[in-house]
A = this chain, B = another copy of it.
Amino acid sequence: MARDREQPISDAVIKRLPIYLRYLTYLDRMGVRTVSSHQMGKDLGLNPAQIRKDLAHFGEFGRKGIGYEVRYLIKKIRQILHLDQLIPVALVGAGHLGTALARYNAFQQDNMRIVAIFDHSPLKAGREIDGIRIQPMEELQPTVKEKDIRVGIITVPDYAAQEVADLLVEAGIEAILNFAPTIIHVPPHVRVHHADLTTELHSLAYYLRQPEYLVM
């Protein structure tokens, strides 16, 4: 869907779609059938006009006076994000964060599925996380090809992140989600997103009460 369009959709719009999806999935679980952009904006802390504009990039999903049909919009956003197909994912780094992600992923029963886990430590290779065997790094390249893995998640320490990224790129991966607190460089045909666990924490601090004795 995304390739034939004249004007590319901005990254900011694409980054908001999963937030809409998560919210709508919650509404669906609560039995809500339709929702207005006004209500969405209120619940998500976003401008309703922006939400309407974001969604209008992809089609006419809303109806005047009714709003959006929750299930239909979920289906559409999943299509737009390519989440209606199975996307095999490899995770590199079976430390605490990697283990948490592998378990979380299994729990969510998502179409983006971690199908292989790699770790450089011989102590970890052979162990399992939720039924997936941890493989040594040497098996990364053949496994990526064999299992048609398209996305890599990096959960290694910062000093090892670039090396792992290079291996993933060499193996033919198309996109990388990097949790290591450093910037990694990849060729232009590979997409990288940086996930930072502290971003949400930092924006929370803004809302704390200011102690009276503090001079700013």
Residue ranges of A at the interface with B (Cβ–Cβ < 8 Å): 1-3, 10-12, 14-15, 17-19, 21-22, 26, 45-47, 50, 79-83, 85, 87, 89, 95-97, 99-101, 103-105, 107-108, 110, 112, 150-151, 153, 174-177, 181, 183, 191, 193, 195-210, 214, 216
Identical copies in the complex: 2
Consensus secondary structure, chain A interface: mixed
Bound form: Cα–Cα A183–B97 in Å: 22
A197 touches B199 (CB 8 A): no
Residues of B within 8 A of A204 (CB): 151, 175-177, 191, 193
Cα distance A22–B195 in the bound complex, in angstroms: 11
Task: Find A1's partner among B97, B176, B216 (CB 8 Å cutoff).
Answer: B216
CB pair A197 B195 closer than 8 Å? yes
Known contacts A10-B46, A22-B199, A112-B202; 10 additional CB pairs below 8 A are A3-B210, A15-B200, A17-B206, A19-B199, A82-B205, A95-B100, A96-B96, A97-B100, A151-B205, A176-B204
Q: Given contacts A10-B45, A97-B96, A216-B1, are A177 and B201 in contact (CB under 8 A)?
A: yes
